[in-house]
Structure 1
Amino acid sequence: MTSFEAAIDRDFGVIADLIRIHAQQRPAKPALADATHELSYGELDALMDRVAASLQRDGLAAGDAIAICAASSVNYAAVFLGALRAGIAVAPLAPGSTPASLARMIADAGARVLFVDAAAAEVIGPAAEGAIPRVALDGSAAGRNVEAWLAPTGARPAAVEPQPAWPFNIIYSSGTTGEPKGIVQGHGMRWAHVKRGAKYEYGPETVTLLSTPLYSNTTLVVFFPTIAFGGCVVLMPKFDATGYLKLAARQRVTHTMLVPVQYQRLMARPDFDAHDLSSFRFKFSTSAPFNAALKADVLARWPGGLIEFYGMTEGGGTCILEAHLHPDKLHTVGRPAEGSDIRLIDEAGKEVARGEAGEVVGHSAGMMVGYHGQPGKTREAEWFDPAGKRFIRTGDVGRFDDDGFLTLFDRKKDMIISGGFNIYPSDLETVLRGHASVAEAAVIGVPSEQWGETPVAFVVRRDGDDTTAEAILQWTNNQLGKTQRLARLQFIDELPRSAIGKVLKRELRELDAR
């Protein structure tokens, strides 16, 4: 058994230690690459040491935190990994947040140093007197130049041995509610994610292309296994369908993580089939609803397996759909992963009978410690079974079929109650997408004096289409049950989405209320 095999076989280990093993065994092997920069494992390991030593020099200790707010880059990834080597938690922040929201997140995380690039610094604004130090990852005037900040070449940090419960990162997930909550994920949770990597053929020959941001858990669930197993991560700071396809073919990419809207845009490219994607082994997706027709198109035209993960950044269990193995289950999100206990509960917090719908709750080895500094919010997110076993509530409503596959209906809070009937927006959205003129659709509930709530649709038409809203509304309502029918349908140029492709229904509600 090699030193790597012995390390990955442990119940708990440290990702930074695996990088050290790869650096010793294959120092010249590429580890990270972006459009302008590449690092081998030997170079990455040495840079991580310099980052860890620099943070310790500046007075940070295990359990402290830093924040990173920047576009994905080699420097971003190296600082993230270097901080982990020192036992320091990382709070990766979305540059697209508002200045007030970013200020709250930085303060909430207790970040001791802020790593930025020029674009993010412009959003955050000038540093106030007494603010934490800023380091510029891109060499700009956004902060102290990262090269000047780093300890000298050859610097080594004091040894640290992270424990499973230590905070690994703090992911700020506002979901679709708008108020950020810091999700504290421990080293043990990340190790659990990494250990399942062998199943998906991660290894030294892996080339993973990532075009989703490094502040998103969506990205990190693929980033860390790639690095842990000695593969190369190619970072694309901003998604562009044509650029993605060219880069994937040129780099002979084997693995990728994409959100459903990215798959949709790629598959819609007229030149998609002209690109050589034969090197792909696995493609992953998570974070947003992935409709069955789109999955079928990916399976038919894109080589390699297709894996959909369903779960939350908070953890608490995962469902996995191996779409290439179960083409008759594309309408589901798969079955509970090994080690995941997924159950359904009713409004009273009691488990529902087999075949009934209920809120999805989950338990696994990979669960958040809690929401940072918000014990009340943490308690709201928890459910305990009669034996006292802790589960995380998802807020999603679903049902298991006879084969144990989970079908999701909607977010519990997005369900529309009209005239006493439950209406799931996803059912209506599926019908809408069946119209030849509809490229994208989202349905929300709006107040109604007569019914309590009533469904309203927002539709993006296909390019060049001139079908009227009334025609699409009438066609759709003819396909729906009487209690489901849409009250209104309006066109929109683009659905509002988060950086990882979730439709922001709160913004649609605000738009409708104007």
Structure 2
Amino acid sequence: MPTAAEMLQADFGSLPDVARQHAVEHPEKPALVVDDRSLTWSDFDAYLDRIAASLQRSGVAVGEAVSVCAGTSLDYAALYIAVLRAGAATAPIAPSVTDEQMAAMIADSGSRLVFLDADTAATLGSRKADLSAQVIALDDSDIGVAWKDWLAAEGERPAPVKIFPDGPFNIIYSSGTTGIPKGIVHSNLMRWRQVSMGGRGNFSEAVTLNSTPLYSNTTLVSFLPTIAQGGTAVLMRKFDARKYLELAERVHATHTMLVPVQYKRIMADPEFDRFDLSAFRFKTCTSAPFAADLKREILQRWPGKLVEYYGLTEGGCSFMLIADEFPDKLHTVGQPLPGHEAKLIDDEGREVAPGKAGEIVGRSGTMMTGYLGREDKTREMYWHDAEGGLWYRQGDVGRFDEDGFLVLTDRKKDMIISGGFNIFPSDIEAVARQCPGVEDVSVVGVASESWGETPVAFAVGSARAEEIRAFTNERVGKTQRLADVVMVDELPRSAIGKVLKRELKDGYRGPAA
């Protein structure tokens, strides 16, 4: 029998099979920790068997999806891996969606089982009665069959299944504030390539602290390599900066994945420097713009490497910035990962000249199978080069500097077109943030009879709206001038820290000349 390390060197393998081998090689090592519950690798492997056997007993077949919409828990984390052992694919759904979206995504996944908790069942409300899937109460509440009653007895094992490279590993539903999110299908092979080597992280002896939710691909970037390589995954149910620091010190965390707003809140804790974070070796960040000055502060005050990843959940080209090795490139998102390629194209699909900005397209060995049941939307992702090669549109605009590091300019879909001019909100935001008293700001385009669209800023801080508007408009071009500034207590963000610009835009009621 090959060792776990040897298994991970193969071109393809099964994550649950590697997990079983970790249980053989270090049975008493902690595998999973959530609050006061923990599982050793031996217990984790046995628990996966019980869950997988239960899934098969419930009729879940190879290649099917199993939906879960719940808060972070040890059972949720184990279920994610056990679904794979049963040969199926996990379809995690964000608890923050609307009742309509939740019901639609469960139906879209084709799941015959859906795992909920009391809170998510309350969100689903009366639509729960319309579900064709059987509801399992992950928290043993009375919203469905209790987890403890559904779970197979100790010692039960599932029937062996064959895992195919092109079979589905998971279905990640894209974020969105309107409509029904698209289901991004990742294959077993795509995930294997991502987790078997784990990049530069070396998760085999890791104590990985995750505080983002399990439905997010952000979390999986560090959770899955930790499981694959036999480390210890420590999960927080809900992020709080002070509790994060306390937990990191207590468990001697070595690895973490955080989004920029979490880093910002942690670094702003007035007692940050009293915590012992010396065990940290590898900190990562993704999902939202990561300010250069924040990266610089983390490098100065927080031990261990700092790595920023930029890419799409759909795959394509991913970029990596090793911040401590390239301190003069903190304004960039780095260079393409090994085996990844990127180009920049204009609105007509032609490659742009060196040094010019353009839409990012990329390709690699880690690209999604497609959007579930949405061939039209999948095709919209495609760009083909002169040789017919397939690339994915990243949806972002950027330019390469003289050393091949990517500088992001903006989201293509967030671009404001005012009077025929393309305006990048990030350019205006960068100026507005320099105004004294501005803590955070987001710029969106709102409808204008005169210009089609015009920029409006939503700001957080002690400065007055008119001060921010005057400060910014004195320093930007004529077409970039703000028509209005709205002061808010905080910017609406998703669970992984992305500003929900659609909510700002839809909620705007001010005048726009």
TM-score w.r.t. length of structure 1: 0.96
Question: What per-residue deviation string (whole Å, max 9, x for no partner) do you get for residues 14-35 of structure 1?
Answer: 1111101100111111011111
Which residue number corresponds to residue 475 of structure 2? 479
1:120-135 equivalence runs, <5 A:
120-125=120-125, 127-128=128-129, 131-135=132-136
Which residue number corresponds to residue 196 of structure 1? 197
Distance 2:433 2:272 in 1: 21
Secondary structure in 1 matching 2:479: helix
Which residue number corresponds to residue 92 of structure 1? 92
1:241-280 equivalence runs, <5 A:
241-280=241-280
Report if aligned partners of 2:259, 2:496 keep a CA contact under 8 Å in 1.
Answer: yes
Distance 2:247 2:77 in 1: 20
1:490 aligns with 2:486: yes
Structure 2 letter corresponding to 1:10: A
Report if aligned partners of 1:176, 1:505 keep a CA contact under 8 Å in 2.
Answer: no
Which residue number corresponds to residue 36 of structure 1? 36
Distance 1:393 1:130, change over 3 A: closer
Q: CA deviation at 1:179?
A: 3.2
Distance 1:401 1:229 in 2: 35
Q: CA deviation at 1:129?
A: 6.2
Distance 1:178 1:257, change over 3 A: farther
1:421 aligns with 2:417: no
Report if aligned partners of 2:101, 2:179 keep a CA contact under 8 Å in 1.
Answer: no
Structure 2 residue runs of 5 or longer lacking an equivalent are: none
Which residue number corresponds to residue 329 of structure 1? 329
Question: What per-residue deviation string (whole Å, max 9, x for no partner) do you get for residues 134-155 of structure 1?
Answer: 1112222222121211122111
Structure 2 letter corresponding to 1:201: N
1:158-237 equivalence runs, <5 A:
158-175=159-176, 178-197=179-198, 199-203=200-204, 205-237=205-237
Which residue number corresponds to residue 142 of structure 1? 143
Q: CA deviation at 1:73?
A: 1.0
Distance 2:180 2:348 in 1: 26
Secondary structure in 2 matching 1:215: coil
1:380-459 equivalence runs, <5 A:
380-459=380-459
Report if aligned partners of 1:363, 1:392 keep a CA contact under 8 Å in 2.
Answer: yes
Distance 2:121 2:418 in 1: 46
Question: What per-residue deviation string (whole Å, max 9, x for no partner) do you get for residues 234-289 of structure 1?
Answer: 11011111111111111110011111111111111111111111111111111111
Q: CA deviation at 1:176?
A: 5.7
| Of 221-230 and 127-136, the range deviating more from structure 2 | 127-136
Distance 1:395 1:129, change over 3 A: closer
Distance 1:297 1:410 in 2: 24
Distance 1:96 1:421 in 2: 36
Which residue number corresponds to residue 499 of structure 1? 495
Which residue number corresponds to residue 295 of structure 1? 295
Distance 1:499 1:28, change over 3 A: same
Structure 1 letter corresponding to 2:180: E
Structure 1 residue runs of 5 or longer lacking an equivalent are: none
Identity %: 56
Secondary structure in 1 matching 2:129: coil
Report if aligned partners of 1:248, 1:277 keep a CA contact under 8 Å in 2.
Answer: yes
1:470 aligns with 2:491: no
Structure 2 letter corresponding to 1:131: S
Q: CA deviation at 1:481?
A: 2.6
Q: CA deviation at 1:175?
A: 4.2
Structure 2 letter corresponding to 1:359: E
Q: CA deviation at 1:59?
A: 1.4
Q: CA deviation at 1:177?
A: 5.5
Structure 1 letter corresponding to 2:156: A
Secondary structure in 1 matching 2:278: coil
Distance 1:134 1:36 in 2: 26
Aligned residues: 509
Distance 1:130 1:414, change over 3 A: closer
Question: What per-residue deviation string (whole Å, max 9, x for no partner) do you get for residues 473-493 of structure 1?
Answer: 212222223332212111011
Q: CA deviation at 1:174?
A: 2.8
TM-score w.r.t. length of structure 2: 0.96
1:22-61 equivalence runs, <5 A:
22-61=22-61
